[in-house]
């Protein structure tokens, strides 16, 4: 399959990239790892006239601590996330999630920024970023702003990014050394998007839930932050009755499509099963 | 669309080409450089038959534009054997362990396994299976592919041990 013709640009700074993207307007797309965009171009679902490759911009790379936050450059690959000692010790849910994204070859090139910016409800990182309360740093023509992950997703492939804007970094508050975490993903095979998946971050205080946050993947037009479900669990011991009530609250906000991964009702139930498993594993890991 | 000049190092040789930006790396390798080891299987970044090594990463050459590989170091299955024709331990392993039936997935499997062993010289069976999970074999030959990679891992690390002892 041969994509439509386009002009290729490889800026070396964020300012240059943003200027190019805003000058070229709707005919231009930024290129990160390309493993969502290039297949769409090969199928001619996307036919941008200009590609602005972000690979030559060193400022978009790297993982560092900044105060109580971890800051990850948007062009950091899944492979680099998996290999990061800093993330493994402070934010292990990211490694756990990255290992469930696609396959090894795709993880060598697929980026965190691309995964969260694309707006595909099947991508795994958006729900994890909502769960963690991450913020996206966004550069646009002549300005920079921050958008909370929880406010970023408007619809399938529709986000709060304005034309000419790109995500430059992801800021994640570290949930503390004693937190429990889990990302549970049901998929048909390696490389598949989730039938349903759930992310959990929680802390315990003397056996009771002190804080809890839940994200759900691919069971709606957008990733979901299941705030009501998490609130039900605060103060509980994660006993069966509380978990059942929280799972019902999480299932209630889903509205998955019926597709090859199963009918909508099944996918909603699987979101509940993934959440139940994720809560159990997060509880085991919390100290 | 205007063509772009690109240069890269493929299997130890400097190469250059004049390409449309939309030319995929797999087509550049196969059609302009006549390196037909990397195969086009699914053409949708699932099957891994087109896998090549690009700057120390296993990538699916059907989902990378040739212009993105400007300046890169690329290794394809053609570059694995020694100049005198002596097979690489992985190639030998695939022969010894019957790691192929039809052979279509083999170049991608071998070049992916090459990077896996660079990163993890003594992988467990589970690590091998996860490591090649982006490569499909439709002859259902995974059992012997795993054995072939284990053969190569043992041979390569045995050789390294011997060198260290000398």
Between CA B72 and CA B89 the distance in angstroms is 25
Q: pLDDT-derived band of residue B166, with 50, 70 and 90 as boundaries?
A: low
User: Shortest Cα distance from A230 to chain B (angstroms)?
Assistant: 33
User: Shortest Cα distance from A55 to chain B (angstroms)?
Assistant: 8
Superfamily of domain B89-165: [2Fe-2S]-binding domain (1.10.150.120)
HSE-CB of A221 using CA atoms within 13 angstroms: 8
| CATH for the stretch A7-52 | 3.30.43.10
Contact B65 A55 (CB under 8 A): no
| Sequential DSSP letters for A11-79 | -SSHHHHHHHHHHHGGGEEEESS-TTHHHHHHTTS---SEEEEGGG-GGG--EEEETTEEEEETT-BHH
| CATH for the stretch A180-285 | 3.30.390.50
| Residue boundaries of the structural domains of chain B | 4-79, 89-165
ipTM: 0.95
Between CA A178 and CA A206 the distance in angstroms is 12
| Residue boundaries of the structural domains of chain A | 7-52, 62-173, 180-285
CB contact B123 to A (< 8 Å): no
Neighbours of B57 (CB within 10 A): 16
Select the residue from B46, B52, B67, B119 to test the A interface by mutation, using most A Cβ atoms within 10 A. B46
Domain A62-173 has CATH 3.30.420.40: no
> If we measure between CA atoms, which residue out of A155, A211, A184 comes closest to residue A272?
A184
Q: Compute, in degrees rounded to 10, the torsion defined by CA atoms A4, A8, A13, A16.
A: -90
Q: Compute, in degrees rounded to 10, the torsion defined by CA atoms A2, A257, A97, A39.
A: 0
Fold matches, A7-52 and A180-285: no
Superfamily of domain B4-79: Beta-grasp domain (3.10.20.30)
CB contact A280 to B (< 8 Å): no
Q: Is the pTM of this model over 0.90?
A: yes
Select the residue from B17, B43, B63 to test the A interface by mutation, using most A Cβ atoms within 10 A. B63
> In the predicted model, is pLDDT for residue B1 greater than 80?
no
Q: What is the pLDDT of residues A262-274, one digit of tens each?
A: 999 999 999 999 9
Q: What is the pLDDT of residues A222-244, one digit of tens each?
A: 999 999 999 999 999 999 999 99
Q: What is the pLDDT of residues B35-72, one digit of tens each?
A: 999 999 999 999 999 999 999 999 999 999 999 999 99
- Return the pLDDT at A254: 98
What's the burial of A189, exposed, middle or buried (CB within 10 Å: 0-12/13-18/19+)? exposed
Q: What is the pLDDT of residues B99-155, one digit of tens each?
A: 999 999 999 999 999 999 999 999 999 999 999 999 999 997 899 999 999 999 999
Compute the mean pLDDT over every residue in chain A, rounded to the nearest whole number: 97
């Amino acid at each position: 399959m041969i994509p439509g013709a386009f002009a290729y640009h490889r800026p070396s700074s964020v300012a240059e990239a943003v200027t190019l993207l805003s000058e070229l307007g709707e005919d231009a797309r930024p290129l990160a790892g390309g493993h969502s965009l290039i297949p769409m171009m090969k199928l001619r679902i996307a036919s941008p006239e200009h590609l602005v490759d972000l690979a030559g911009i060193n400022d978009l790379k790297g993982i560092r601590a900044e105060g109580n936050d971890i800051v990850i450059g948007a062009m950091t690959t899944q492979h680099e996330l998996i290999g990061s000692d800093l993330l493994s010790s402070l934010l292990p849910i990211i490694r756990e999630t990255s290992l469930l994204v696609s396959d090894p070859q795709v993880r060598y090139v697929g980026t965190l920024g691309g995964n969260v910016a694309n707006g595909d409800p099947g991508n795994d990182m958006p729900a994890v970023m909502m769960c963690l309360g991450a913020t996206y740093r966004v550069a646009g023509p002549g300005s920079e702003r921050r958008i909370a992950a929880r406010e970023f997703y408007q619809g399938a492939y529709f986000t709060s990014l304005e034309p000419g804007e790109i995500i430059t970094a992801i800021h994640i508050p570290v949930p503390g050394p004693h937190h429990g975490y889990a990302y549970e993903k049901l998929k048909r095979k390696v490389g598949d998007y989730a039938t349903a998946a759930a992310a959990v971050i929680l802390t315990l205080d003397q056996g009771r839930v002190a804080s809890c946050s839940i994200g759900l993947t691919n069971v709606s037009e957008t990733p979901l932050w299941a705030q009501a479900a998490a609130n039900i669990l605060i103060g509980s011991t994660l006993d069966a009755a509380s978990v059942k009530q929280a799972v019902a609250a999480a299932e209630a906000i889903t509205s998955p499509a019926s597709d090859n991964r199963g009918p909508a009702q099944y996918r909603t139930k699987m979101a509940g099963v993934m959440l139940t498993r994720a809560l159990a594993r997060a509880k085991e890991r919390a100290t | 669309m205007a063509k772009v000049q690109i240069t890269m190092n493929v299997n130890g040789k400097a190469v250059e080409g004049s390409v449309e930006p939309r030319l995929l790396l797999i087509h550049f390798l196969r059609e302009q450089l006549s390196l037909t080891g990397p195969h086009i299987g699914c053409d949708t970044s699932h099957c891994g038959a087109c896998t090549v090594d690009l700057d120390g990463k296993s990538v699916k050459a059907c989902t990378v534009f040739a212009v993105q590989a400007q300046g890169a170091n690329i290794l394809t299955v053609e570059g694995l054997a020694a100049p005198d024709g002596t097979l690489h331990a992985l190639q030998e392993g695939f022969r010894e362990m019957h790691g192929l039936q039809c052979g279509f997935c083999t170049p991608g499997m071998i070049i992916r396994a090459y990077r896996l062993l660079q990163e993890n010289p003594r992988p467990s069976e589970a690590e091998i299976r996860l490591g090649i999970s982006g490569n499909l074999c439709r002859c259902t030959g995974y059992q012997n592919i795993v054995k072939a990679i284990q053969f190569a891992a043992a041979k390569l690390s045995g050789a390294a041990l011997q060198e260290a002892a000398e």
